Structure formats: structure tokens, C-alpha cells
Chain A
Amino acid sequence: MGYWIVTYRRGLDLEELRACLAEIGAHLVEGAEPIPLSDQELSIEITTERGALDRIEAIDGVQGVFPSSDMSTF
């Protein structure tokens, strides 16, 4: 399982998105909240297998899936 950031259009209900993700075996990260990116777009962090990304992108209202990559202190 890896961490990813899903961007989706405003208007897509979060519970609806959660349900769609669950069908694919993906889940919202505990404590993650929707982050506004623009007037039309929100994002939220999820966990899923890399192989499920295409199916997540196919969810109506999902606009993109980006990695939530590990960072280090400098």
C-alpha cells in the first residue's frame, strides 16, 4: 500500500468518494481532510495499491492522482 493524493471536483460528495474508493480497495487516510486547490478542485490523501490508480482516476469527478512521497528533514 502506498500513499497518494487524489484531486477531485467540488460537488463530489466525500462520502460518495469514500465508497467508490472502498470498492477498489483504497481508503482515505485517517485524519486527512479535503484541501481546497481552486474554486473547482479539492484534494485528499488516500492509501492504495499502485495497480489501482487507473481505476481511481476513472471515478467520476476524480481529476488526478499524485504521489504523497516521503520527505526528509534537511
Chain B
Amino acid sequence: MAGLHVLLEMSSKENDAFSRHAAGLESAEEAQKQATEMMGAVGGVGIEIEEDAPPIPMFAATAEDDQALSAFALGLAGSTGRGKKTKSHVVQAEVSRTRMGELLEAPDIQVWPSSPMALLDEGAVAFDLASSRGGVDCRPFRPGVDIATIRELLGVAALWKEGAQGQNIVVGVLDEGIDGSTYPVIGGFARPNSARQPGSAPVTSHGSMCAADILVAAPAARLYDYPFLGVPRSGPALQMMQAALNQFSQDGTPQITNNSYGFTAGPSAITDPRHEVNNFNHPYNRKVREVVAAGIACFFAAGNCGRDCPSGNCHPSGIGPGNSISAANSMEDVVTVAAVNSRHERVGYSAQGPGIFHAQKPDLVSYTHFFGNFGPGRPGGTAQPYDNGTSAATPVAAGVGAALLSAFPGLSPAELKELLMRTATDVGGSVGWDRDHGAGVINAAAAYAQQRNAMIISSYGGGASGAGTA
């Protein structure tokens, strides 16, 4: 039967669950008998109970049922048996699609997906997560690594084998401009009479580096070039954001923008209350919010003014925790990306939270210091030793976003951001979000797996939110 593999959960109140389960493990016949009894009248044609799999006793009704969980733990430790009474049992089964609807309607049964899993060390790269906790990579930095290493670390193979390589997704790159003869620029915008038109920048440009790095995870994505950084002020940036919005209103692209730029100083709010860094209502900041609200996910670099080894162009007022993530880069609406190397060590220039507009910044970290556009044999040559900065980490993350959107095109910017944060690999020694790494290192494979599971639950009518169907 080519059915759906599911877990069927039914209420139960059993006191001798452990011994009964042990008996089921001893005998396939007993296991089948227990499962059949549990299924009762619901079983039959179209539902095949997994062989050698006795019902699994469950002792707490929900993940939030702390009281039942405590009683269970106490019961296990003591001899009273208190807390050992089951709340439910779970039966593994393969169910035909025709029976699935009936099961979903059944009042006493909960249907859960039994999703495929993969070994986490499949194709893993040798880095020591434990030894990198709290580690900082400062000048002289560790050597760069190749793109293949970054792809393995991201786990993009899990998406690619399902065909999710960023196809049908366009990423807008607001930057210095892209070399369109090297990278797939299909449009964009430039100010009238601007010397730099979309696709006309040299391959050594900062924008070309961003283009290369988007393709790390999303090689089938296409690009819009918004070359405003030839005139690096917020006025032209505002115009480019509007151009992206205009395009999006016509055909739904770009679905993502990459923004590897920002401010390197923190002017006083007293002397410069209207500066982009201080004023949430600055037109540029307002326009960024509009772009996200319209449905375009905006990835912003956290910046390179981290405390340990800040970039040379950082003003003292913009360096370190609380100062270095500012303006639109610190808005709650956007995805703010800090940087680690391939060993999961924070690069010492990577900007640190809290953000000025939204305290819980950065949102996550992504990879930098690899041979993407720059490096031996790469299109940009060795003008720089490797792709670097939070500028490089951000398009890597944007590319992951593009690959995910090609699989789940219905994800909103907020859902995409939440998915990336929820599935990030926690690093840095403290549990959960921290000011150096946000929610952790971006993990494409985990994000894809979790969203796919949410889709499965949603397709069963389980009501999972944010399933992202088109």
C-alpha cells in the first residue's frame, strides 16, 4: 500500500505500560495484538499497522503538561507507581489517503506525521563545534575555505536533491553593481544617466561578491542589480528600495533583497536626532519596512564594527555591543546577519547586538571567509584573499532563503525569518539567542526538514501555521 506513514495517538489509562510494552517488543504477535486492540473499531482496510512495533505509551498529554511530566518522573524514581499511568498510546501505521480523512475526523485520534529522517553526520564536514564555543577569529584570520565546504556546512544537498535550488526566485542586490557577464543579472534599476547600469560593474566589485555568494546555496536563483553604492547615501538607497517595490508590484519579484551595507558610526541622538541611525521614521527606514510588508524578505548585514577587531573604517561611536547594529540593519522586520568562519568561530569584526531599533539583533550568523567570488581560480581573482565581511555572510543567508522559497513559495518574510532562526544551530556557549550569534548558525537542511514536516501536517489538515503553501 502506497500510503502515508503516520503516528496515530489514542487516549489510554494503563498502569502496567512498561511491562506490557516490553511484552510487545518480545513478540511480534503480541505487538500486533496490542496495536489492533488499541485501534479497535477504527482499524481495518486501508490502515496497515507497522510490524514489530508495539504501541508506545505516552505519559504527559502535551509538551506543556509539566505537572504530568513531573508526576511521571517522580513515579519512575519511586515505588508507588504514581505518575506511571499513561495518557495515551501511539501506534505506527501506514494509512491510505482514502482512510486519512476518516481518521482526521475521528474524535479520539490524533494523527501525526512520521517523517523521514537522515543521519546528521551524513556528509558532515570535520569541524569541532565544542572547541569553537566562544571562539573568535581575528587578524591574522584563519585561511579561507572553498565553496563546497560552505555548502556542506549549510546542508544544501537536502534541498537540492528535492530540486530546490532557488529557481523562480529573484534576489535584488542593492550594492555597488554586479558583473552581468559572470553572474545571472536579469534586470534591476539605475538612476537615469547613471554611469553604472545593471550588470555593468566589474567582477571585482563588492556587488559581484554578493552575487557569487547568493549562488552558493541557490545556484538557480536570478538577480536584479540595484547599483546605488556608486553614490553611497541613504537617498539613492531609498530610490533603489522603491525600484524593488515597483518591480514587485508588477510581477512579484524580487522575493528577496540583499543589503550588505550600512553605517559605521553612531551619531549622537541629541545632536543628530534625524539621522538614519537614530530616527525610526527616517524615509529610508520607513521604506525598508514597506518593502518587507509588501512581501519582500530583506536580508541585512549586521556590520563589521564588532568589538574584537573592527573594520578600519568604523568610527569609535559605532563599535561594539549596542553600537554596531544600527539603522534599518537593526529593524525587527529584516533578517540581520552576523558572521562566523567555517569553524563556527565568530569573526571578530562581526557586529554585536543589541540592535539600536530592535534589541534582539543579530538574528543569526552565516558563513564568511571562503572562496566565492574572490580567491585562487575564482572569477574575481585574488584582489582579495577570499569573500569576507558580514557582506559575504549575508548573501549566503539570502541564498538559503531563496532556495527555501523555491521549495515553499508561500512563506512570508516573517515566516521565513522565523524558520531560519528556529532551525539555526546554537553556538557561542549560552543557550538560545546571544548578542554575538543571534539564534545561531544558519542551517539550510534543518530549515527545509522542519518546513517540509509542517507542510505534511498541514496537508493532513493538522492546521500547522506558516506551512507556506503557494
Contact = CB atoms under 8 A, between A and B. Distances in A.
| A pairs with B | yes
B260 A73 contact: yes
Given A5-B284, A35-B287, A68 B235 contact: yes
Nearest to A35: B242
Contacts of B279: 66
Interface in B258-312: 260-264, 272, 274-277, 279, 282-284, 286-287, 301-304, 311
Contact of A74 (B276, B286, B390): B390
A33 B121 CA distance: 53
B233 interface: yes
Given A65-B274, A66-B279, A45 B237 contact: no
A40 interface: no
Contacts of A70: 232-233, 263
B234 A35 contact: no
A26 to B, nearest CB: 14
Contacts of B237: 71
B242 A36 contact: yes
Contacts of A32: 191, 235, 239
B232 A66 contact: no
A3 B239 CA distance: 14
A66 B282 contact: yes
B226 to A, nearest CB: 13
A66 to B, nearest CB: 5
Given A35-B242, A69-B275, A74 B261 contact: yes
B233 A31 contact: no
Contacts of A7: 283
Contacts of B284: 5, 66
A73 B283 contact: no
Contacts of A69: 233-234, 263, 275-277
A3 B284 CA distance: 14
A73 B387 CA distance: 13
A5 B238 contact: yes
B193 interface: yes
B313 interface: yes
A72 B283 contact: no
A33 B229 CA distance: 17
B107 interface: no
Interface of A: 3-5, 7, 29-33, 35-37, 43, 45, 64-74
Task: Rank and list the top 6 A-B pairs by shortest CB-CB distance, nearest first.
Answer: A45-B235, A68-B235, A31-B191, A74-B301, A74-B391, A68-B233
